[in-house]
Structure 1
Amino acid sequence: MVDEAPSKPALSALPRHATVIRQVFDGRDLSTLRALNLRFDRCSFRGADLRHATLDGCSFKLCDLRGADLRGASLRGVNWAGCDLRDADLRDTDLTDARFGFVNTGAPPHGLTDVTGARFDRAVLRDLKAEDVVGWNG
């Protein structure tokens, strides 16, 4: 995590299925970001503002989203694998066809997605899949 993370316009300009690796977006204003089908690997979004972002089809692997504000975001088909979403705000999000899962690290319970304290009030959870998720009450 040495280089400066891409700006919101640079993220929006990335082609579908591009991979963003080990970037830090902590506390950044990424509200209304439109980034489709991107792959985020070991990125940090702690406390980031992602309100009303459109992240449909994106994949997050081993990412830190603790305390991130995702209110009103479109997260259709998003895959969360081994991510830390503790205390994230997912109110009013669209999580249709999303998947909360894990990464096989070979050492359980490592690699599990953690949603402890995350808020899902009024979120659309149609066809959402949650497998081996810490803090899930669904």
Structure 2
Amino acid sequence: MSGSFVLKSDPNVFVLMDLKSVAMAKRLKMKEDELLYLKSKVNDLKEQLKCEEVTAVAMAERLKMKEDELLYLKSKLNDLEEQLLYFTSQPSYKHKSVYKNIEYQTTSNPRQFTVLLHETTIL
């Protein structure tokens, strides 16, 4: 018989195992534990990835909304610039600019107020 042996007791039978086999069994157990840990880590990373994907989708939707809003505002700006260009190209005697200053006076009743309108005409 070669190698070292250890006596392992079982309630009914005594089993001889080679020390090398015992070491290999311990190593196998360590590798199985490591594999379980890595599987757990993979699952955690998958969950984190799902959360990141949800966040990315929400951010993409928000970006799309902001881009749509920006396009709307650019269109509105172009319309106003066209109106301004039209009015500034007209002779000044045909058009007058009216600046209105609005003041609000509150009364004792919070639902009622008076509007005072002041007009200033520039020719």
Superposition TM-score, scaled by structure 2 size: 0.19
User: Greater relative contact order (Cα 8 A, min sep 6): structure 1 or 2?
Assistant: 1
Superposition TM-score, scaled by structure 1 size: 0.18
Larger radius of gyration: 2
Judging by fraction of residues, say which structure has more helix.
2
